[in-house]
Protein backbone atom coordinates (compact mmCIF):
# COMPACT_ATOMS: atom_id res chain seq x y z
CA UNK A 1 0.00 0.00 0.00
CA UNK A 2 1.25 3.47 -0.84
CA UNK A 3 0.89 6.40 1.49
CA UNK A 4 1.33 10.06 0.87
CA UNK A 5 2.36 12.61 3.44
CA UNK A 6 0.66 15.38 1.50
CA UNK A 7 -2.88 14.08 1.60
CA UNK A 8 -4.95 15.14 4.56
CA UNK A 9 -6.47 12.39 6.67
CA UNK A 10 -9.93 12.97 5.26
CA UNK A 11 -8.68 12.69 1.67
CA UNK A 12 -6.79 9.52 2.49
CA UNK A 13 -9.86 8.10 4.16
CA UNK A 14 -12.00 9.00 1.20
CA UNK A 15 -9.52 7.35 -1.17
CA UNK A 16 -9.31 4.25 0.96
CA UNK A 17 -13.07 4.12 1.13
CA UNK A 18 -13.56 4.52 -2.61
CA UNK A 19 -10.98 1.77 -3.17
CA UNK A 20 -13.13 -0.71 -1.29
CA UNK A 21 -16.58 0.38 -2.47
CA UNK A 22 -18.31 -2.03 -4.82
CA UNK A 23 -21.23 0.35 -5.09
CA UNK A 24 -22.08 3.72 -3.68
CA UNK A 25 -25.12 5.99 -3.51
CA UNK A 26 -24.73 9.67 -2.75
CA UNK A 27 -27.83 11.73 -2.01
CA UNK A 28 -29.69 9.29 -4.21
CA UNK A 29 -33.25 10.48 -4.79
CA UNK A 30 -36.00 8.71 -6.67
CA UNK A 31 -39.36 10.34 -7.31
CA UNK A 32 -42.20 8.50 -9.01
CA UNK A 33 -45.01 10.41 -10.69
CA UNK A 34 -45.82 14.07 -10.22
CA UNK A 35 -48.40 16.36 -8.69
CA UNK A 36 -51.01 14.48 -6.69
CA UNK A 37 -49.49 11.07 -7.40
CA UNK A 38 -45.91 12.09 -6.60
CA UNK A 39 -44.07 9.58 -4.40
CA UNK A 40 -40.59 10.21 -3.03
CA UNK A 41 -39.42 6.60 -2.90
CA UNK A 42 -35.82 7.50 -2.01
CA UNK A 43 -34.97 10.72 -0.22
CA UNK A 44 -31.25 11.61 -0.47
CA UNK A 45 -29.93 8.19 0.42
CA UNK A 46 -26.18 7.96 0.91
CA UNK A 47 -24.73 4.51 1.45
CA UNK A 48 -21.64 2.60 0.46
CA UNK A 49 -21.47 -1.13 -0.13
CA UNK A 50 -17.96 -2.38 0.45
CA UNK A 51 -16.30 -5.07 -1.61
CA UNK A 52 -16.51 -8.58 -0.19
CA UNK A 53 -19.23 -7.58 2.23
CA UNK A 54 -22.70 -9.03 2.68
CA UNK A 55 -25.29 -6.33 3.39
CA UNK A 56 -28.96 -6.82 4.19
CA UNK A 57 -31.48 -4.06 3.52
CA UNK A 58 -34.54 -4.04 5.76
CA UNK A 59 -37.52 -1.79 6.31
CA UNK A 60 -41.31 -1.72 6.18
CA UNK A 61 -43.22 -2.37 2.96
CA UNK A 62 -43.01 0.72 0.75
CA UNK A 63 -39.87 2.07 2.45
CA UNK A 64 -37.91 2.02 -0.83
CA UNK A 65 -35.89 -1.20 -0.60
CA UNK A 66 -36.68 -2.48 -4.10
CA UNK A 67 -36.31 1.02 -5.51
CA UNK A 68 -32.82 1.28 -4.00
CA UNK A 69 -31.82 -2.10 -5.49
CA UNK A 70 -33.21 -1.15 -8.90
CA UNK A 71 -31.53 2.28 -8.98
CA UNK A 72 -28.17 0.88 -7.83
CA UNK A 73 -28.32 -1.91 -10.42
CA UNK A 74 -29.14 0.47 -13.27
CA UNK A 75 -32.58 -1.06 -13.74
CA UNK A 76 -34.35 2.22 -12.99
CA UNK A 77 -33.39 5.84 -13.62
CA UNK A 78 -32.64 8.13 -10.69
CA UNK A 79 -34.13 11.59 -10.05
CA UNK A 80 -31.18 13.12 -8.22
CA UNK A 81 -27.81 12.45 -6.63
CA UNK A 82 -25.56 9.70 -7.82
CA UNK A 83 -25.34 5.92 -8.04
CA UNK A 84 -22.05 4.23 -8.78
CA UNK A 85 -20.89 0.68 -9.44
CA UNK A 86 -17.20 0.64 -8.66
CA UNK A 87 -15.97 3.88 -10.22
CA UNK A 88 -18.67 3.94 -12.86
CA UNK A 89 -21.34 6.60 -12.50
CA UNK A 90 -24.64 5.19 -13.76
CA UNK A 91 -26.29 8.50 -14.60
CA UNK A 92 -25.49 9.56 -18.12
CA UNK A 93 -24.48 6.11 -19.32
CA UNK A 94 -25.89 5.43 -22.76
CA UNK A 95 -28.34 2.51 -23.04
CA UNK A 96 -25.78 0.23 -24.62
CA UNK A 97 -23.16 0.87 -21.94
CA UNK A 98 -25.75 0.44 -19.22
CA UNK A 99 -26.88 -2.88 -20.68
CA UNK A 100 -23.26 -4.04 -20.83
CA UNK A 101 -22.63 -2.97 -17.26
CA UNK A 102 -25.72 -4.81 -16.02
CA UNK A 103 -24.77 -7.90 -17.97
CA UNK A 104 -21.07 -8.04 -17.16
CA UNK A 105 -20.73 -6.56 -13.69
CA UNK A 106 -24.01 -7.07 -11.85
CA UNK A 107 -26.04 -10.09 -10.81
CA UNK A 108 -29.66 -9.49 -9.90
CA UNK A 109 -32.04 -11.83 -8.12
CA UNK A 110 -35.58 -10.55 -8.53
CA UNK A 111 -38.52 -10.79 -6.15
CA UNK A 112 -40.30 -12.50 -9.08
CA UNK A 113 -37.72 -14.78 -10.61
CA UNK A 114 -37.74 -13.41 -14.20
CA UNK A 115 -36.78 -16.70 -15.83
CA UNK A 116 -37.32 -17.24 -19.54
CA UNK A 117 -40.15 -19.80 -19.88
CA UNK A 118 -38.85 -21.39 -23.07
CA UNK A 119 -35.40 -22.17 -21.66
CA UNK A 120 -34.65 -24.97 -19.23
CA UNK A 121 -32.93 -24.39 -15.88
CA UNK A 122 -29.31 -24.65 -17.00
CA UNK A 123 -29.98 -22.55 -20.12
CA UNK A 124 -31.52 -19.87 -17.91
CA UNK A 125 -28.54 -19.98 -15.57
CA UNK A 126 -25.92 -19.56 -18.28
CA UNK A 127 -27.97 -17.16 -20.44
CA UNK A 128 -26.24 -13.92 -19.33
CA UNK A 129 -22.84 -15.46 -20.06
CA UNK A 130 -24.04 -16.90 -23.37
CA UNK A 131 -25.24 -13.47 -24.44
CA UNK A 132 -21.92 -11.95 -23.40
CA UNK A 133 -20.03 -14.70 -25.25
CA UNK A 134 -18.30 -15.77 -22.03
CA UNK A 135 -17.60 -19.35 -21.06
CA UNK A 136 -18.67 -20.25 -17.54
CA UNK A 137 -16.00 -21.47 -15.14
CA UNK A 138 -17.19 -25.09 -15.00
CA UNK A 139 -15.81 -25.81 -11.55
CA UNK A 140 -17.54 -22.75 -10.12
CA UNK A 141 -20.76 -23.50 -11.97
CA UNK A 142 -20.79 -27.06 -10.58
CA UNK A 143 -20.30 -25.71 -7.10
CA UNK A 144 -23.13 -23.22 -7.51
CA UNK A 145 -25.45 -25.92 -8.85
CA UNK A 146 -24.57 -28.32 -6.04
CA UNK A 147 -25.22 -25.67 -3.43
CA UNK A 148 -28.57 -24.57 -4.77
CA UNK A 149 -29.46 -28.25 -5.19
CA UNK A 150 -30.57 -28.23 -8.79
CA UNK A 151 -28.43 -30.96 -10.30
CA UNK A 152 -31.40 -33.20 -11.14
CA UNK A 153 -33.61 -30.40 -12.48
CA UNK A 154 -31.31 -28.78 -15.02
CA UNK A 155 -33.33 -29.89 -18.06
CA UNK A 156 -36.66 -28.72 -16.61
CA UNK A 157 -38.33 -25.54 -17.79
CA UNK A 158 -39.60 -23.00 -15.24
CA UNK A 159 -43.24 -24.19 -15.50
CA UNK A 160 -42.02 -27.66 -14.56
CA UNK A 161 -40.36 -26.36 -11.39
CA UNK A 162 -41.78 -25.37 -8.02
CA UNK A 163 -41.59 -21.74 -6.89
CA UNK A 164 -38.64 -22.53 -4.62
CA UNK A 165 -36.81 -24.34 -7.41
CA UNK A 166 -37.36 -21.40 -9.77
CA UNK A 167 -35.94 -19.07 -7.14
CA UNK A 168 -32.88 -21.29 -6.82
CA UNK A 169 -32.39 -21.11 -10.61
CA UNK A 170 -32.52 -17.32 -10.31
CA UNK A 171 -29.94 -17.37 -7.50
CA UNK A 172 -27.66 -19.66 -9.52
CA UNK A 173 -27.98 -17.40 -12.56
CA UNK A 174 -26.86 -14.37 -10.54
CA UNK A 175 -23.90 -16.24 -9.02
CA UNK A 176 -22.76 -18.14 -12.11
CA UNK A 177 -20.89 -15.30 -13.80
CA UNK A 178 -19.16 -14.15 -10.57
CA UNK A 179 -20.22 -10.51 -11.06
CA UNK A 180 -18.69 -7.63 -9.12
CA UNK A 181 -21.84 -7.26 -7.10
CA UNK A 182 -25.03 -9.22 -6.59
CA UNK A 183 -28.28 -7.49 -5.69
CA UNK A 184 -31.08 -9.68 -4.39
CA UNK A 185 -34.65 -8.59 -3.72
CA UNK A 186 -35.85 -11.11 -1.13
CA UNK A 187 -33.87 -13.91 -2.79
CA UNK A 188 -35.08 -16.46 -0.25
CA UNK A 189 -38.61 -15.12 0.17
CA UNK A 190 -40.11 -18.06 -1.75
CA UNK A 191 -37.99 -20.81 -0.26
CA UNK A 192 -38.77 -23.14 2.62
CA UNK A 193 -36.53 -22.51 5.62
CA UNK A 194 -34.15 -25.37 4.78
CA UNK A 195 -33.52 -24.28 1.15
CA UNK A 196 -33.47 -20.67 2.29
CA UNK A 197 -30.76 -21.43 4.84
CA UNK A 198 -28.69 -23.23 2.20
CA UNK A 199 -28.93 -20.33 -0.24
CA UNK A 200 -28.10 -17.80 2.49
CA UNK A 201 -25.19 -19.92 3.65
CA UNK A 202 -23.95 -20.10 0.09
CA UNK A 203 -24.24 -16.34 -0.40
CA UNK A 204 -22.32 -15.80 2.83
CA UNK A 205 -19.60 -18.28 1.81
CA UNK A 206 -19.26 -16.65 -1.59
CA UNK A 207 -18.58 -13.40 0.30
CA UNK A 208 -16.19 -14.88 2.88
CA UNK A 209 -14.25 -17.24 0.65
CA UNK A 210 -14.43 -15.69 -2.80
CA UNK A 211 -14.77 -12.01 -2.04
CA UNK A 212 -18.17 -11.74 -3.69
CA UNK A 213 -20.17 -8.62 -2.79
CA UNK A 214 -23.83 -9.17 -1.97
CA UNK A 215 -26.63 -6.72 -1.15
CA UNK A 216 -29.92 -8.36 -0.25
CA UNK A 217 -33.36 -7.11 0.70
CA UNK A 218 -35.12 -9.19 3.32
CA UNK A 219 -37.99 -9.01 5.79
CA UNK A 220 -36.61 -11.87 7.84
CA UNK A 221 -34.31 -11.16 10.84
CA UNK A 222 -32.85 -14.68 10.55
CA UNK A 223 -31.95 -14.10 6.88
CA UNK A 224 -30.47 -10.70 7.82
CA UNK A 225 -28.29 -12.36 10.47
CA UNK A 226 -26.30 -14.05 7.68
CA UNK A 227 -25.14 -10.60 6.58
CA UNK A 228 -22.17 -8.58 7.86
CA UNK A 229 -24.30 -5.49 8.12
CA UNK A 230 -27.93 -4.44 8.08
CA UNK A 231 -29.07 -1.10 6.67
CA UNK A 232 -32.58 -0.04 7.73
CA UNK A 233 -34.80 2.07 5.49
CA UNK A 234 -37.98 3.93 6.46
CA UNK A 235 -39.89 6.31 4.22
CA UNK A 236 -37.10 6.41 1.66
CA UNK A 237 -34.37 7.25 4.16
CA UNK A 238 -31.68 5.31 5.96
CA UNK A 239 -32.58 5.25 9.62
CA UNK A 240 -30.09 2.77 11.03
CA UNK A 241 -27.00 0.75 10.22
CA UNK A 242 -26.09 -2.33 12.25
CA UNK A 243 -22.85 -4.34 12.08
CA UNK A 244 -22.48 -8.07 12.77
CA UNK A 245 -26.21 -8.55 13.25
CA UNK A 246 -27.85 -11.41 15.07
CA UNK A 247 -31.50 -12.32 14.52
CA UNK A 248 -32.21 -10.98 18.02
CA UNK A 249 -30.42 -7.67 17.58
CA UNK A 250 -32.20 -7.13 14.24
CA UNK A 251 -35.56 -7.91 15.82
CA UNK A 252 -34.83 -5.49 18.67
CA UNK A 253 -34.15 -2.67 16.17
CA UNK A 254 -37.29 -3.48 14.22
CA UNK A 255 -39.37 -3.37 17.38
CA UNK A 256 -37.79 -0.04 18.26
CA UNK A 257 -38.84 1.44 14.90
CA UNK A 258 -42.36 0.16 15.27
CA UNK A 259 -42.66 1.63 18.75
CA UNK A 260 -41.31 4.92 17.35
CA UNK A 261 -43.88 4.88 14.56
CA UNK A 262 -46.74 4.22 16.97
CA UNK A 263 -45.80 7.09 19.29
CA UNK A 264 -45.03 9.61 16.53
Ligand X SMILES: Nc1ncnc2c1ncn2[C@@H]1O[C@H](COP(=O)(O)OP(=O)(O)OP(=O)(O)O)[C@@H](O)[C@H]1O
**Helical (H) or strand (E) element with 229:** strand 229-234
Nearest approach, Cβ of residue 41 and ligand X (Å): 3
Classify the phi-psi angles of 194: left when phi > 0, otherwise alpha if psi is within -120 to 50, otherwise beta: alpha
Find, among 239, 193, 236, 211, the residue nearest to 228 by Cα.
211
HSE toward the beta carbon, residue 224, CA cutoff 13 A: 27
What phi and psi values does residue 215 have, to the nearest 5 degrees? -125, 125
> C-beta of 62: minimal distance to ligand X in Å?
4
Residue 190 is a binding residue for ligand X (CB under 6 A): no
Q: Which of 25, 28, 64, 66 binds Mg ion (CB under 5 A)?
A: 66
Number of residues that bind ligand X (CB under 6 A): 12
Please pick, from the candidates 13, 19, 32, 192, the single residue that binds ligand X as defined by CB under 6 A: 32
Binding segment (CB under 6 A) for ligand X, from list 60-68, 82-90, 150-158, 197-205: 60-68
Which range in 59-67, 81-89, 91-99, 250-258 contacts ligand X by CB under 6 A?
59-67
Beta carbons of 53 and 29 less than 8 angstroms apart: no
Nearest Cα neighbor of 30 from 88, 89, 91 is: 91
Nearest distance from C-beta of residue 236 to Mg ion, angstroms: 13
CB of 260 to ligand X, least distance (A): 17
Binding region for ligand X (CB under 6 A): 32-33, 39, 41, 59, 61-67
Binding site for Mg ion (CB under 5 A): 66
Amino acid sequence: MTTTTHAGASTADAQAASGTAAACATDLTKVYGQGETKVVALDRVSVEFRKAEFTAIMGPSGSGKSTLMHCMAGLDSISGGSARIGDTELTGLKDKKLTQLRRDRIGFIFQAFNLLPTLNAIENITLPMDIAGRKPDQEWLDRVLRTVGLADRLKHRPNQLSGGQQQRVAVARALAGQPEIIFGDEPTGNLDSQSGAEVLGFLRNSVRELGQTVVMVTHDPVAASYADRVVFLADGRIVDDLRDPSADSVLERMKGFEAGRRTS
